Amino acid sequence: MDILITGAAGMIGRKLTSALSASGQLRGEPIGTVHLVDVVEPASVPDGWTTEVADLSEPGVVDALAARHADVVFHLAGVVSGEAEADFDKGMRVNLDGTRLLFEALRHAPGQPRVVFTSSIAVFGAPFPDPIPDDFHLTPLTSYGTEKMIGEALLADFSRREFFDGVGIRLPTISVRPGAPNAAASGFFSGIIREPLNGQRAVLPVSRDVRHSHASPRTAVRYLLHAAELDSSLLGARRNLTMPGVSVTVGEQLEALERVAGAEAVALVDEAADATIAGIVAGWPTRFATPRAESLGFTADDSYDDIIRAYVEDDLDASS
Amino acid sequence: MDILITGAAGMIGRKLTSALSASGQLRGEPIGTVHLVDVVEPASVPDGWTTEVADLSEPGVVDALAARHADVVFHLAGVVSGEAEADFDKGMRVNLDGTRLLFEALRHAPGQPRVVFTSSIAVFGAPFPDPIPDDFHLTPLTSYGTEKMIGEALLADFSRREFFDGVGIRLPTISVRPGAPNAAASGFFSGIIREPLNGQRAVLPVSRDVRHSHASPRTAVRYLLHAAELDSSLLGARRNLTMPGVSVTVGEQLEALERVAGAEAVALVDEAADATIAGIVAGWPTRFATPRAESLGFTADDSYDDIIRAYVEDDLDASS
């Protein structure tokens, strides 16, 4: 079982790496070679695994990757939403061209690897029904979402033509994200939990009735592994799936925080309305109905309480 | 009012050219320069209009086109469905790269032209609800449909970013297509009307209860002109629209033929079941609900009878 991971140095990539290293197997087969690619060197690398600092859109990179004949390719690499919006050309080059070049290189290599592609709920754009059904159209409102939509379309057609065996998973917002606060408009969804758990104050810039859909990093990794292992014949031609999430209001997030960490944790959250952030967040999806993914065995975190406990167990010591 | 038409030598391109030449105006402004591009020379060209034989995916072509600073660009060019399926690389090069290169060139030229992009109901793939609503997801089952889906995604994002002002229209099956029979699996939808009207026998390879959605060439041109003229601020970020069609069964097509041309015309149709064609057609959409396009002023042919009469008035003399 040889594995290739692009975007391996990112938060999800690092957690996927740890999970694979811990289990030592995928699809019931012992893991052989693992090659980790990113534009920066991964912070920690299991013994015997190889790494490469490379941009998929640079000449020759994808051909060398495809020549490794991995059985499973986790394609996580990409420029994030804010950067793809600020630098259109870079987003298109990395997210669209990089993905297409990788897919083309895999097409021309022997074999039909399983290709797990991380898409995003950014493929959806308001206005929405509530909940958003599995067959709702994709009308992204960012270039990042557009690039993910195009990646999904290519993944499905390359799979239909049996160039490879692709599964695309649309990840909900990942919370609680470990590490330092960031400037993303969605950052507060994690910050209002993470900062209090670390004894620090946090700002809540939206009202408590704002609803959003979440998955823990631990569950995102479960989704990736399940996408690598599931029987893709069950997918037919529809290769892209919205992943289940835990849909809660910000108020419900704070109630969960109180249950897990007490009222003193919640007291560290300062409500300070920010009209700009509230406006951005108002255009985001709030709730999905995901019977298709669920019928295929993708299961969400049990509750937002569990999402907080996953952070406490997996990340709190490391970040405090 | 300067106009650029790609794919100008195709059936729809020729009819659009004739309609523009006849009216002499677009958006209430007199037509100035018109430049017609295709991989083959158009059969007939109005006086003073310029033509160019070129492939948009060849180096330099799109930059020279964008430098013309057309006010309205009709982007009709593309490899058809069967060819895009048979030659994957050619389809991707012409339909995806050609479209993206044209859009990029228009982005970098001054101004924000209206860009009318002909998409197709091939962006949809079975299974379907009946009717297919405006917000149904795109799951194409051909590379052609995939390429059109990607063109739609780019059109929407380039419009959102105000690189240009795009409107994408998903055309239903065009019938009655003028000219000789062709080998397309959908050819019989036109053939069972066109051949009898020309005194020739036609083969019906599917059962009479097969349902499909149609627009006359005349109506397709009306859609293109309306897409060039409508107030695009009404579209918001959702720039791609399923066009209304007349949804009828093959039996209803033949009843209309009898009303327009008599029982002797229908007697020229030979029923000869073809399981291959029936299988292909079974995966196609049959009926759309298109309230969005209708509310924006796109109106279907009144009936299949009218579709036949449009052929008789516009094309019968020319083809017989």
Per residue in A194-210, pLDDT (tens digit) is 999 999 999 999 999 99
Q: Alpha-carbon torsion A103, A105, A110, A113, what sign?
A: negative
Q: Model-level pTM?
A: 0.96
Give the model's confidence band at A320: pLDDT under 50 very low, under 70 low, under 90 confident, else very high: very low
Beta carbons of A156 and B146 less than 8 Å apart: yes
Residues A247, A6, A55, A34, Cα dihedral to 10°: 160
CATH value of B3-172+214-242 in 3.40.50.720, 3.30.565.10, 2.60.40.1120, 3.40.30.10? 3.40.50.720
Average pLDDT over residues A247-276: 97
Beta carbons of B153 and A143 less than 8 Å apart: no
* pLDDT for position B320: 43
Closest residue to A137, CB basis, from B136, B141, B237? B136
- Percentage of chain B beyond pLDDT 90 is 92
Closest residue to A137, CB basis, from B137, B143, B161? B137
Mapped onto helix, strand or coil, the DSSP state of residue A127 is coil
Among A156-160, A182-186, A310-314, B142-146, whose mean pLDDT is lowest?
A182-186
* pLDDT for position B318: 67
pLDDT at position A100 over 70: yes
Q: Which residues does B161 contact at the CB level (< 8 Å), separation at least 6?
A: A88, A143
Q: CATH topology for B187-213+246-286+302-319?
A: UDP-galactose 4-epimerase; domain 1 (3.90.25)
Q: What is the CATH class of A187-213+246-287+302-319?
A: alpha beta
Among A180-184, B114-118, B151-155, B287-291, whose mean pLDDT is lowest?
A180-184
Mean pLDDT estimate for chain A: 95
How many CA within 13 A on the CB side of residue A127?
A: 3
Closest residue to B238, CB basis, from A136, A139, A149? A139
Q: Structurally, what CATH architecture does the domain formed by A3-172+216-242 represent?
A: 3-Layer(aba) Sandwich (3.40)
- Percentage of chain A beyond pLDDT 90 is 91
Tokens 């609803």, residue? A211
Every domain of chain A and the residues it spans: 3-172+216-242, 187-213+246-287+302-319
Q: Report which secondary-structure segment, H or E, holds A137.
A: none
Beta carbons of A125 and B237 less than 8 Å apart: yes
* pLDDT for position A201: 97
- Asked if A19 and A88 touch (Cβ cutoff 8 Å), the reply is no
Provide residues of B within 8 Å CB-CB of chain A. 88, 125, 129, 134-141, 143, 146, 149-150, 153-154, 156-157, 160-161, 237-238
Average pLDDT over residues B100-121: 97
pLDDT at position A289 over 60: yes
Mean pLDDT estimate for chain B: 95
pLDDT at position B319 over 60: no
Task: Find residue B246's DSSP bridge partners.
Answer: B214
- Asked if A137 and B139 touch (Cβ cutoff 8 Å), the reply is no
pLDDT at position A318 over 70: no
Cα separation, B96 vs B100, in Å, equals: 6
Task: For residue A214, give the nearest of A240, A179, A178, A177 by alpha carbon.
Answer: A177
pLDDT at position B145 over 80: yes
